[in-house]
Amino acid sequence: MIERVKKYLEEVNSFSSTDALTIEKFRVSYSGKKGILATLFAAFREVPVEEKKAFGQELNVLKNAVSEKIKELQSQLKSTGGKSSISDPTRTPFPIQTGNRHPLSVVKNRIIDIFTQIGFTISEGPEIEDDWHNFTALNLPEHHPARDMQDTFFIQTDPDILLRTHTSSVQVRYMEKNQPPIRTISPGRVFRNEAISSRAHCIFHQIEGLYIAKDVSFSDLKQTLRYFTESLFGNSKIRLRPSYFPFTEPSAEVDIYWGLETEVDYRITKGTGWLEIMGCGMVDPNVLKNCGIDPDEYSGFAFGMGIERIAMLIYQISDIRLFFENDVRFLKQFKGTL
């Protein structure tokens, strides 16, 4: 009998585990109601009187060893933060994968933040548009050659209905419903019938800006754009290059100074150091008139940019198609950015 107790003692002393479930099994097998200790104490009563003392002593040694061992293992488990494998009904059985925003949403939200901080509201319009809002009201009457600048998807049964080619259509809708002062930006999807390549896609995203009030001048436009590019890209220079858009006069394209430090800088700026990021200009008086705003009383500026283009610059992405493939290995890289 004493031999058996000694064997148990050896087993207890050499037992070790970092797994909560194994430790718990060990505890139950020794100290549980029907465990080894309980069985041995029950057997103690049967032990002949002359052996009782020695057996009792051994039994107490074993009992203490068991409780010491359990204490030691449990405190070890706590300090190493050992993961309990005892089923916890409040715990999920597998690690939950948290998602993240799409990089286009991250960039769009950042741009929205920058403009809402200076009082711009957000407005939206329909993706299926009519000719008036997408073209005619924007000073692009029928047969105007500039309509070819944007290859349009028409709804076959009705040539008057199309997928909007730019978010400038929202300008028109907004001015038709609101009188100045107007300060609004319009993010949204736009569609063009273009061959898909690393630089072009037939669905993409734009943000349009519109500011109409009394005495708005070109310098207000410039200052607003400076504030925007500084907030988004850091302290970088911009330049405005004369350009043409039917809905603005004068019109300009905005370049930011990207620099010429690396080979990539050379490639993406074609050796100039400058990158075009948007179009802008003073809203053409014809457009104001078309939308019911008196051009003798009010003036304003507008600008429009592609969100993909800005995101490609910020994150140095060379293929626009990556935004639309929704490969999680690509998307995951933008967690917590901007």
**Residues that bind ligand DAH in the complex, under the rule CB under 6 A:** 166, 168, 208, 245, 248, 279-281, 302-304
Q: Collect all residues with Cβ–Cβ distance below 8 Å to 67 and sequence separation of at least 6.
A: 31
Residue 320 beta carbon to ligand DAH: minimum distance, rounded to whole angstroms: 15
Nearer to ligand DAH, 36 or 282 (CB): 282
Nearer to ligand DAH, 146 or 331 (CB): 146
Nearer to ligand DAH, 26 or 290 (CB): 290
Nearer to ligand DAH, 8 or 211 (CB): 211
Residue 121 beta carbon to ligand DAH: minimum distance, rounded to whole angstroms: 16
Residue 215 beta carbon to ligand DAH: minimum distance, rounded to whole angstroms: 19
Give yes or no for a contact between 166 and 150, defined as CB atoms under 8 angstroms apart.
yes
Rounded-to-integer distance, Cα 166 and Cα 133, Å: 10
Rounded-to-integer distance, Cα 240 and Cα 225, Å: 10
DSSP, residue by residue, 109-136? HHHHHHHHTTT-EE----SEEEHHHHTG
Q: Which residue is nearest to ligand DAH (CB)?
A: 304
Residue 298 beta carbon to ligand DAH: minimum distance, rounded to whole angstroms: 16
Inter-axis angle of helices 2-14 and 49-79, nearest 10: 10
Rounded-to-integer distance, Cα 283 and Cα 220, Å: 13
Nearer to ligand DAH, 23 or 311 (CB): 311
183: three-class secondary structure by DSSP: strand
Nearer to ligand DAH, 277 or 280 (CB): 280
Residue 251 beta carbon to ligand DAH: minimum distance, rounded to whole angstroms: 6
Kind plus residue range of the DSSP H or E element containing 239: strand 238-245
Give the CA count within 13 Å in the CB-facing half-sphere of 97: 5
Give yes or no for a contact between 299 and 211, defined as CB atoms under 8 angstroms apart.
no
Residue 186 beta carbon to ligand DAH: minimum distance, rounded to whole angstroms: 10
Residue 151 beta carbon to ligand DAH: minimum distance, rounded to whole angstroms: 12
36 phi, psi to nearest 5 deg: -60, -45
Residue 278 beta carbon to ligand DAH: minimum distance, rounded to whole angstroms: 7
Alpha helices per DSSP H over 48-189: 49-79, 103-116, 131-134, 168-177
Nearer to ligand DAH, 66 or 305 (CB): 305
Give the CA count within 13 Å in the CB-facing half-sphere of 259: 9
Nearer to ligand DAH, 69 or 309 (CB): 309
Give yes or no for a contact between 216 and 300, defined as CB atoms under 8 angstroms apart.
yes
**What are 302's two structure tokens?**
């507008």
301 phi, psi to nearest 5 deg: -125, 160
Nearer to ligand DAH, 23 or 280 (CB): 280
Distance of CA 334 to the CA centre of its chain: 6
Residue 105 beta carbon to ligand DAH: minimum distance, rounded to whole angstroms: 20
